Amino acid sequence: MDQFQGRVAVVTGGGSGLGRELALCCARRGMTVALGDVDEPGMAETARLIGEERPEAACTAHRVDVSDAEAMEAFADAVWRRHGGVHLLFNNAGVAVNGPLWEHTTADWQWLLGVNLHGVAWGIRAFVPRMIAQGTGYVVNTASAAGWVSAPGSGIYNASKSAVVALSETLALDLRDAGADIGVSVVSPAFFPTPIAESERNRPPELADTAPMSEARRRRSEELRYAVQHGRIPAGDIARMTLEAVEQRRFYVFPHGRIKELVRARAEAVAREDDVFDTLAGR
């Protein structure tokens, strides 16, 4: 996708973090932006920042739970009615929980997979057929380094992001098989400053039954918070790299180069049929 001016971008998780920065990047390039999130105050702040920096840019905010397939269909309908089409879709919304796998409740699994995995699946289901019908479009799915290498204490998150990588690769192949001129990228950043460590703030009450704060969970949660806060690449730079990848139609996007080294090391461990690859140790 080499033209942004006058086009329409949809950003889920647009109320904070990478979603906010993606929206700002799109607005700077002359795009109309439609935000989707459950965080209405966050979306209002994103819209304010867009208006402050680019007063001429159009931005709409839509409260939507990405884990709800019908809500995502309604979101797509609303954006098409309002803006006449969608050219760039960011399936970006994401949340996290931490702790040993055996400690998690069913609500933990439902909430995280609902947002991180089903949110991408329902975004594809709601928007891609319309893109195919309009003859053009581009899809960017936010995965993670956790989709390629697994760290302890993040089992559900790792599983969800591995699935996003698989969905993205399959989507690109399915679109090629169908002869559709729709581009796809999957973005896999490592830790960077973002509010994901506070994602519980948007957890629905009906899925509030979470695991108790065991010592192992407390330790991993603190490690996550520290790693996120001390990430070396800001969200704005990752958003810029992502838009550049879209321009160049690059499928795999790794903002943190070190992750590719870990992926190679893991592949070598697989080839040896060795002990489980230890991401933290790099071997």
What are the catalytic residues? 157
Q: How far is CA 100 from CA 56, 71, 96, 151, 162, in A?
A: 48, 32, 13, 11, 18
E-only strand ranges, 150-263: 182-187, 252-253
Please tell me the total number of residues recorded for the chain in this structure: 283
E-only strand ranges, 38-122: 59-63, 88-91
Token couple for 168: 């993205």
- The CA distance from 100 to 112, in Å, is 15
Contact residues for 151 (Cβ-Cβ < 8 A; gap 6+): 158, 279, 280
Please enumerate, as own/partner, the contacts of 265-268 that have beta carbons within 8 Å and a separation of 24 or more: 266/148, 266/149
Token couple for 148: 């390629």
Is 94 in contact with 20 (CB distance < 8 Å)? no
Is 135 in contact with 181 (CB distance < 8 Å)? yes
- The CA distance from 235 to 253, in Å, is 14
Is 14 in contact with 22 (CB distance < 8 Å)? yes
Q: Which residues pair with 35 in a beta bridge?
A: 11, 61
DSSP string, 216-241: HHHHHHHHHHHHHHT-SS-HHHHHHH
